[in-house]
Amino acid sequence: MARRYDPDRRRRIIDAAIRVVGRDGIAGLSHRTVAAEADVPLGSTTYHFASLDELLVAALRQSNEGFGTAVLDSPVLTDPDCDLAAELARIVGRWLTEERAEVERCYELYLAALRKPALRPVAGEWIADVVGALAHRVDGETARAVAALIDGVCLEVLLTGRPYDEEYARTVLARLIGPVGGTGAAV
């Protein structure tokens, strides 16, 4: 039987792992469940990912791209006159309302790092990416606090079922960032 050329197979396996985690949690993840979800032979999952930890690392890294891409694609980084607090609050709101299932899957993977040490460096990448993205608008300490605040707001919405309050998020982000970050002046 000829081997079928499938350049997207690795990505499909990662996408399938994210869906399995979203549906069944980390405990439901196995090479077999991912292979079935991706509609690939079982050997494909073990060929691309020797261990489940490798697959989880790839899935978390891919999941982290969502918020980072939203920030990178917004005027928050390119327009020094952009209201940083308002734009971040808008991005978080869009992420939590329009992509809630994706956010839930992302946090399921993110929090799995509590029990899976292999995921900790990748979980830390999200924080580093947000801090790095905000570095030209606020100092590093404030950028780290902004990342922590965003995490807290997201977890509150996801865990309590309360609706996202964009005005509240904007207000607390503005307090944290202060007038320097909000006016576009570089620190």
Q: What is the pLDDT of residue 134?
A: 85
| pLDDT higher than threshold 60 for residue 180 | no
Residue 101 has pLDDT above 90, yes or no: no
State whether CATH 3.60.20.10 applies to domain 63-181.
no
Q: Where in the chain is the domain with CATH 1.10.357.10?
A: 63-181
Residues whose CB is less than 8 angstroms from the CB of residue 43 and which lie 6 or more positions away in sequence, other chains included: none
Model's pTM, two decimal places?
0.81
Question: Bigger pLDDT: 149 or 181?
Answer: 149
CATH of 7-50, one of 3.20.20.60, 1.10.3720.10, 1.10.10.60, 3.30.70.270: 1.10.10.60
Q: How many CB atoms lie within 10 A of CB 120?
A: 13
pLDDT in tens, 43-57: 999 999 999 999 999
The CB density around residue 13, as the number of other CB atoms within 10 Å, is: 24
Please, where in the chain does CATH 1.10.10.60 lie?
7-50
**pLDDT higher than 70, residue 184:** no
Task: Give the tens place of pLDDT for each residue, 129-174.
Answer: 888 888 888 999 999 999 999 999 999 999 998 999 999 999 999 9
Residues 6+ away with beta carbon under 8 Å from 7: none
